[in-house]
Amino acid sequence: MPSFDIVSKVDAQALDNSINVVKKEITNRFDFKDAHVVIDLNKKEYKLNIETDDDMKMRQLLDVLISRSHKQGIAPEAFDFSKETYQSGKTVKKEVQVRNGLKQEDAKKIVKLIKDSGLKVQPQIMDDVVRVISKKIDDLQEVIQLCKSAELGLALQYENMRS
């Protein structure tokens, strides 16, 4: 039976490359001349620790991060900017979590969306992957279009298409 997997993962090498590109661009920008900027990537926890002089530079840095990561193939939804910036002495710090893998509640949202659509498919949650099985490949392609059009706020990829 045809099936495919819905996943949400970030390539570690692409993330590392985009962070290096951001660091290089920031060192060359005039508005960041002599500014305190630290961008630290924790590869095990997929977490970014960012430090700048003030809130305006933090916003500019996050804009550069999103645009450069998007060029590397990382969707902007992969970054979790929900944690607020906090002041630490003369610097402003922010912790940005990179979403890697589907959480259980996100997987349940996807399954509910697919079941509510009325398509003849069978979604099932397998750890951090949602597998969708159907008798027809056309139904699977409709599920992909449905997930792309839904505003889930997740960076989803579709892989392991089998017929």
Name the token pair of 152: 């889930």
pTM summary value: 0.83
Give the Cα separation of 36 and 57 in Å (integer).
10
Q: How would you write the pLDDT of the chain (163 residues) with one tens digit per residue?
A: 899 999 999 999 999 999 999 999 999 999 888 889 999 999 899 999 999 999 999 999 999 999 999 999 999 999 998 888 888 888 999 999 999 889 999 999 999 999 999 999 999 999 889 999 999 999 999 999 999 999 888 889 999 888 7
CATH number, span 12-98: 3.30.70.990
Half-sphere exposure of 122 (CA within 13 A, CB side): 7
Question: 3-8+102-162 sits in which CATH class?
Answer: alpha beta
Hey, do 3-8+102-162 and 12-98 end up sharing a CATH topology, with the first three levels equal? yes
Give the Cα separation of 162 and 133 in Å (integer).
9
Domains of the chain, by residue range, sit at: 3-8+102-162, 12-98
